[in-house]
Structure formats: structure tokens, C-alpha cells
Structure 1
Amino acid sequence: ADFIPHIKNITKIGLYHLKNIARVCPILSRANAETLMHAFITSRIDYCNALLSGLPKKSISGLQLLQNSAARVLMKTRKREHITPVLGSLHWLPVCFRIDFKVLLMVFKCLNGLGPSYLSELLLLYKPSRSLRSSGSRLLVIPKVRTHIHGKASFQYYGPHLWNELPGDLRAAENVHVFRNRLKTHVFSLAFN
């Protein structure tokens, strides 16, 4: 599916709301302004964003521009200033990391009987032919794909690819709450270190 028109629409609507929020920002507390940003901007960026997994960064650049602009308005940062430290101080993951976070959370849920069956059926645990140290590490089979662009963006490929890159202790988390907290810390360190 072509998500470019969808991304452009989210960006356009988000920038419209951001312009209106920027007008009232001077009379709001930072906490209230941040609440507005989450209600009108980040909620749009995050809604069903796992569908955008595996897309090139260029394709989601409009969403990243929207998030950067929201951070600049909220923190009163000039355009020339580097945005990464601003996003880090707000604890806002960049868009591509938000997407990966959502995909990894869904993979964990699928592996633990908490995800939808139509996605769970796409994931296969790797079983080595002989006993290896990796046999208890909950690795997933990464299927071969025919088309480079759409195949590698599919949940069936992209989910296991991301999952297998996680540290073993994270893959072995005992429940979704522990996994979510550890994953957020892990992805945050990847994004900002």
C-alpha cells in the first residue's frame, strides 16, 4: 500500500493544529501546552504507525518534521538549533524509533498470546537443528522476501528482524509491563546515545 498520501495528510492536519497551538502557547503553562501537543500532534503521529514500519526515513520525513516543529514550539527553540537534544529532554522518541517500539511491542504480545492471531501466525520461533547456546534465546525466523521494498516492510519480515536485534534479557522479559519499560529504555538509548 502507498502510505505517502496518508503521511502527507497527517502532516498537513498536524501543522494546521500546531499553528493554532503556537498562537495560544504564550498564555499556557508548559504542562498544558504539552498536553495539547499530545492531544493534537503526537496522537496523530502514533495512531496506527506500526503500519509504516520498514519504510525509508525519507517516506516518514513529514511526520518527523511535524514532531520536530511541535518540540520547537513547546520548548521555544530556534530552527537553527539541533533538535535531537530537545526531543531527548522531552523524552519524545523520534518517529522511526516510535514505529519500531510499536512493532516490537506487538511482536512480544504475539509471542505471549496477547496479540491478534492473524499476526501471531506470521511469527515462527527459530529452532536450531542441534543444541546450541542460542536455543533458549527466543530468536525468530526471518523469512526470505521476494520484493525488496514491500517485503522488508511487512510485519512478517520487519518484526522478527527487529526482535532478533534485541538483547537476550529483553526478549526474555516475563510480562508485557516489564518488557515495555525495558524496551522504552533500550530504544531511548539507541535514539539518543
Structure 2
Amino acid sequence: MTSLGSVIQKHGFSYHCYTDDTQLYFSFQPDDPTVAACISACLSEISSWMNDHHLQLNLTKTELLVIPANPLLHHNFSIQLGSSTITPSRTARNLGVVMDHQLSFINHIATMTRSCRFALYNIRKIRPFLSEQAPQLLVQSLVLSRLDYCNALLAGLPACTVKPLQLIQNAAARVVFNEPKKAHVTPLLIRLHWLPVAARIKFKKFALCK
């Protein structure tokens, strides 16, 4: 992989290599006309390196995410590689986090909310058959772990954006105690010693800064 890194860095890119995924990072000026050609040349050389090492670049899973410094800017360039054309995507998944071109994380929160809601639905269905401690263990492993995953990225977002996650936590507390959907949730969170979602995000951010 060292030789692949040399190929990538030769074109001015930084990179991260994972088990079956390689991510390239590149910053450029908004009016730079050579960006598309630079990315195309780098991908072409990566493809050649892979062919030499009996590998193949999967163009169907290759994504391009452009994050402009100014949200009003739009980049419409496309990357041509062989017979395939790669155009900028509005979202891309990075280690389970759905990143969008404006870094609003709205898509990520929506995806996480759906998965947590599904988990809570299943836990609530079997809630009458569980012991007193089992619901809390299930909620912590299947719901709270998702709310806390990479939540430092959500620091600084408007409260209205993060609100769906708080509603999920409220629902999780009600499931633990088998309370109805309209039950007042603050006493439940206190009994569980759960920080609200906004406080959990701040705690993670400060923990990473130490």
C-alpha cells in the first residue's frame, strides 16, 4: 500500500486507507479550472496501479463529494475515467456517517433516526417478556450507542436539527420504563442518569479536546 500512497500523493492528494476502501482528500480554489483534470489523472493512475496488482477499481462505488467554502457555490464539473463519468454527489457515507455537501448532517440524522426508531419498535414489541434490566441494556446497545457514535461532528448545529435525536432518546427512556408515549420524560432521564443529546454532544467534544 506504500506504493499506492506514493501514487496518490504525487497528485497532491491526502488519503486514508481502510480494509476495502480508500478515501482521497484535496482542497482547491473555487475558480481552479484544473481540478477535474487533476482528479481524473489521479484516479486513472490508481486504476493502473490496481491492474498491475491484480485488483480493480470499482467505479460503481466511487463517489465524489465537493464541500464548498461558500454554500452558494455549485461545482458542476464531471470526472471522466474510461467509459465512466463521475459527478459530484450530494451525500457520501464515511465510516457510517452520512456527510452532505453542506455539512449540515441532516441526512445523517434522518438515517440514524430511522434505524433507532426501528430498534425501539422491536424492543417495545418484546418489552412485556423482558426482565427489569433487559430493556435498558437493549436500549443502550442498540439506540444510545448510535446516538453517541461520532456525535462530536454534530457540535454547533442548530437545536432544530438535533431535535429528532432528542425525541429518539425520549422515546427510548419511555420504552425502558414501559411508559406511554405522552409521559413526562425528564424524571425518566434523571432516573437513568442520561444526559440530554445536546449535553452528550458537548461532553464528547470537550473530551476530544483534552
- In which range does the TM-score fall when normalised by the shorter chain? 0.5 to 0.7
Residue 50 in structure 1 maps to residue 162 in structure 2:
no
- Structure 2 distance, partners of 1:100, 1:30, is 31
Question: Residue 188 of structure 2: which of 86, 92, 95 is its match?
Answer: 86
Q: CA deviation at 1:91?
A: 0.6
Report how many residues are paired: 108
Normalised by the length of structure 1, the TM-score is 0.54
1:2 to partner: Cα distance: 2.2
SS of the equivalent of 2:160 reads coil
Aligned residue for 1:63, secondary structure, equals: helix
Kindly indicate whether residue 124 of structure 2 is the aligned counterpart of residue 19 of structure 1.
no
> Secondary structure at the residue paired with 1:60?
helix
CA distance in 2, matches of 1:38, 1:65: 15
Shift of 1:68: 0.4
Counterpart amino acid of 1:36?
A: L
User: TM-score, normalized by length of structure 2?
Assistant: 0.50
Equivalent AA in structure 2 for residue 62 of structure 1: P
1:75 aligns with 2:177: yes
Structure with bigger helix share is 1
SS in 2 for 1:44: helix
Quick one: distance in 2 between partners of 1:54 and 1:2? 10
CA distance in 2, matches of 1:28, 1:63: 25
Cα distance, 1:56 vs structure 2: 1.3
Tell me the CA shift for residue 78 of structure 1. Answer: 2.5
Structure in which a larger fraction of residues adopt strand? 2
User: Which blocks of at least 5 consecutive residues in structure 1 are unaligned?
Assistant: 109-193
* Cα deviation 1:126-156 (Å, max 9, x = unaligned): xxxxxxxxxxxxxxxxxxxxxxxxxxxxxxx
Tell me, which stretches of 5 or more residues in structure 2 are unaligned?
1-102
Higher RCO (CA-CA < 8 Å; seq separation 6+): 1
Superposed CA RMSD = 1.0
